[in-house]
Amino acid sequence: MNLDAFDEMQKRTSVSWFSHIVLGTPYSQLKTVVYPKPHYKSFVIKKQNGGPRVIHEPRKELKLIQKKILAFLSERAGPIKPAVHGFVHKRSILTNALKHCSPTTHHILNLDLKDFFPSITFRRVRGALRKHPFDCSHEVATLIAHICTFNGTLPQGAPTSPFLSNMLCRRMDRDLTDLARRYRATYTRYADDLTFSFNVRSAERLPSAICMVEDGNVAPGTELTELITTKHGFAINPTKTRLNDRFGRMEVTGLTVNNFPNVRRNFIDRIRGALNAWETYGYAAAQLEWEKRNATYIAAPYITKLWRRQTRANFVPKLKNVLWGKLLFVRMVRGKEDALYTRLAERYNKACAAEQGTVPFVYEKLPIEPVVRDYGSAEDAVFVLEWMGDYHSSPGVFEDMVCSQGTAFAYRELNLFVTCDHLLSGAKAKVGTFEVEADYDAKEMVNKTLQLVHPFTKQSWPAKVLYRNAQLDIALIAFDMPQPPPHRYFAAMENSIRVRTSGILIGFPAYKNWNRPDFLEEKVLNRTEPNKGMASFTITGAGSIRPGNSGGPFVDDRFRVAGVAQRGAYMGDGHDECLCFEVLNQLIDKWKAPQAKSVLPENKIAATIVATSPGAVSTAAPQT
């Protein structure tokens, strides 16, 4: 046995070794801290229903010891179950809600475990520590369990309690995941909140093993109840058992998941109301009204409080700080590129800046992404891509001047533009009496220029090709200058666009000098799904993707990209086809990956198949 293995064995089996090496405290001194009873301070806060919630917070010295125990156990715990989202790094109420957010989800069952932390006793904690993966001796397990429990149960307020609760629920999570899988449901747990989602449309067809519905009353199924109560020793709170369908508000850990993770409407309305009062009457008056309302509700039940927040006695938080926190919460839930958050954040920053001009006003600006959110801002993210050059059939032998143009749009970040590859390869050059295809990267092209034109400002800038994929008909472009001009970018949808969903096709068909982009409302007609992943879709209205539209975005009603316009129906032949954003994302991620860049070098064609389309225009480029 080497020294590392011996040290690890001693940490798990020897109380004095564990105390001295792991906790950094001699065992004789440690006993004065944890015996006869660990040191805690207790206080009460109100639950959402107005009832009391007792918090036991360890004193400073004990909390430091518990944090060291938490680090020791976390290193040896192994991976957390995928169904668990509470108290786990990089998981949250948002990741928990996303597991149930799907167009095919029609019912959601919410359960609550009654007295979750008090249900986890000293004996259960010690038993878990003696088993794999911790494998502690009886003495070490007893010491850790005594340090981490209070009055024989896990205290709500100790840093070790969330982690230990997840460890104690491992087998239950495994059993409930298996139960859900057998009935084609999805299961997740966030602390004491259990959620099951189902794809069946009718409540009568819900699996009785998980959920029983009779005369409008909802109850956990027999097998589910037996697993939770009999096998794993927890109790279900019947007052918090809810079943919601798609015709109502489906909620998971407080977030609405009918279409996408979202906050409640009244949450946004209160933010708007506070901002409106601030903008109309000034911050001082808005803060005074905020304090008055808090004083009115300070003794009211938690559920009726403003923002449903817990306000400390004799202390009212600043309105600007409350709005700042609430808006950041909206950003976390809806996404940093969300149009609603962006508009509210701009109002907040503008209101703060206005106050700064009159009196000293300390505030922190909200982060805002330059994302497209409406028709006006879309014009700052869509450009005309045009290139021209001289075609030489052999060195020094000029044959024709070649030019082509189409649409390009900024996507996912600044200075990353997406367009169609056939705009760079589908131009025609006359060689004698014949026409040949001219490629932008071909050796026959000399004196070539590539530029992005912004008709709204009547300006153009040099551009460069980052990557081309002829097989998927996609090219990535960027400004070829140290400081790119101001512009915005489009965000992507979370899920594939559905059939019969309305969207907007944006582009520059039949572009002439300084034309504004066209916004054409169309619907998704059908889609292809090779390997169960959506690859492309067609839109209604034959000929919607006209010459010059190629490379433009097809966006949803929130101006998020659903696909890239690629091939248009020409003279009644073919389909108006868009490449799905998911394929585009995979392509960009692969190109960005360091290991992929050696395989996919810049300015090289990644496939030998040259895609041609009537969407590529071969006309003289406009003068700028």
**What CATH number did the domain enclosing 469 receive?**
2.40.10.120
- In the beta sheet, which residues pair with residue 475? 419, 468
Quickly state the pLDDT bin for 398 (edges 50, 70, 90). Answer: confident
Token couple for 245: 């369908």
Identify whether residues 410 and 434 lie together within a single domain: yes
Name the maximum alpha-carbon separation found in the chain: 101
For 29-58, the pLDDT digits (tens) are 998 888 887 789 998 887 776 678 899 999
Residue 138 has pLDDT above 60, yes or no: yes
As a whole number of angstroms, the distance between CA 442 and CA 351 comes to 54
Q: Would 614 be classed as within a structural domain?
A: no
Same domain, residue pair 382 and 308: no
Q: Which of 303, 319, 354 is the last residue of a domain?
A: 354
| Residue 380 pLDDT class (50, 70, 90 cuts) | very high
**pLDDT confidence tier of residue 305, bands split at 50, 70 and 90:** low
Q: Are residues 173 and 28 in the same domain?
A: yes
Within 8 A by CB and 6+ apart from 325, the residues are none
Q: Which of 416, 409, 478, 405 is nearest to 440 (CA)?
A: 405
Kindly give, in sequence order, each residue whose CB lies less than 8 Å from that of residue 256, ignoring residues fewer than 6 positions away: 249, 250, 262, 263, 264
Domain membership flag for residue 402: yes
What token pair was written down for 296? 């009115």
DSSP H or E segment with residue 10: helix 3-13
Listed range (204-208, 580-584, 602-606) with the worst mean pLDDT: 602-606
Paired with 214 in beta bridges are 217
User: Strand, coil or helix: what is 394?
Assistant: strand
Instruction: Please report, for residues 65, 162, 600, the alpha-carbon distance to residue 93 in angstroms, rounded to integers and kept in the order given.
Output: 29, 15, 38
Specify the length of the chain in residues. 624
Residue 529 confidence (pLDDT): 62
Among 111-115, 504-508, 509-513, 521-525, the least confident range: 509-513
Q: Residue 531 pLDDT > 60, yes or no? A: no
Structural domain includes residue 81: yes
What gap in Å lies between CA 314 and CA 316, rounded to an integer?
Answer: 7
* Residue 367 counted as domain residue: no
Confidence of residue 536 (pLDDT cuts 50, 70, 90): confident
One domain, residues 9 and 32: yes
pLDDT of residue 614: 31
Domain count of the fold of the chain? 3
Cα–Cα distance measured from residue 324 to residue 292, given in angstroms and rounded to the nearest whole number: 20
Are 382 and 553 in contact by the 8 Å Cβ rule? The answer is yes
- Identify the domain containing residue 41 by its residue range: 3-256
Of the pLDDT bands very low, low, confident and very high (cuts 50, 70, 90), residue 466 is very high
Residues 6+ apart with CB under 8 A from 580: 496, 497, 527, 534, 535, 536, 537, 562, 563
Q: Are residues 204 and 275 in the same domain?
A: no
pLDDT tier at 602, thresholds 50, 70, 90: very low
353-362 tens-digit pLDDT: 998 876 778 8
* pLDDT exceeds 50 at position 604: no
What is the residue-averaged pLDDT of the chain? 87
User: Is 624 contained in some domain?
Assistant: no
For residue 314, the model assigns a pLDDT of 58
Name the band, by pLDDT with cuts 50, 70 and 90, for residue 311: low
Residues 54 and 20 in one domain: yes
Q: Distance (Å, rounded) from C-alpha 383 to C-alpha 453?
A: 6
List phi, psi (to 5°) of 326: -65, -40
By mean pLDDT, which of 86-90, 240-244, 578-582, 606-610 is the weakest? 606-610
Query: Cβ-count burial of 79 within 10 angstroms (0-12 exposed, 13-18 middle, 19+ buried)?
Result: exposed
**pLDDT recorded at residue 513:** 72
Question: SS3 for 114?
Answer: strand
Same domain assignment for residues 181 and 151: yes
Of 256, 287, 310, the domain-final residue? 256
Structural domain includes residue 94: yes
Considering the domain architecture, whether residues 173 and 318 belong to the same structural domain is answered as no
Asked, for residue 325, whether it belongs to a domain, the answer is: yes
| Mean pLDDT in residue range 439-467 | 91
Query: Is the predicted pLDDT of residue 609 greater than 70, yes or no?
Result: no
Mean pLDDT of 158-163: 97
The confidence score (pLDDT) of residue 216 equals: 83
Structure-token match 């007893």, residue found: 142
Q: How far is CA 123 from CA 232, 331, 337, 442, in A?
A: 14, 42, 48, 75
Q: Is 363 contained in some domain? A: no
Tens of pLDDT, residues 161-172: 999 999 999 999
Mean pLDDT over residues 587-615, rounded?
Answer: 52
Give 178 or 500, the one with higher predicted confidence: 178
When pLDDT is averaged across residues 273-283 and rounded to a whole number, the result is 95
227 & 307 share domain: no
One domain for residues 289 and 250: no
Question: Are residues 384 and 317 part of one domain?
Answer: no
The model's pLDDT over 90-118, given as tens digits with 9 standing for 90+, comes to 999 999 999 999 989 999 999 999 999 99
Residue 595 has pLDDT above 60, yes or no: no
Kindly tell me the number of DSSP H helices and DSSP E strands found in the chain.
Answer: 18, 26
Assess whether 248 and 273 both reside in one domain: no
Q: How far apart are CA 214 and CA 148, in angstroms?
A: 43
Stretch 18-33: mean pLDDT, rounded?
A: 92
Predicted local confidence at residue 448, as pLDDT: 92
Contact present, 467 and 424 (Cβ < 8 Å): no
Which among 246-250, 398-402, 495-499 has the top mean pLDDT? Answer: 246-250
* Residue 312 reports pLDDT greater than 80: no
Per-residue pLDDT at 509: 86
Share of the chain above pLDDT 70, in %: 88
**What percent of the chain is predicted at pLDDT more than 90?**
64
Residue 540: what pLDDT? 79
| pLDDT for res 576 | 83
Helix, strand, or coil (residue 532):
helix
* Residues 439-465, mean pLDDT to the nearest whole number: 91
pTM, whole model, 2 decimals? 0.80
Does the pLDDT of residue 373 top 70, yes or no? yes
Residue 320 has pLDDT above 90, yes or no: yes
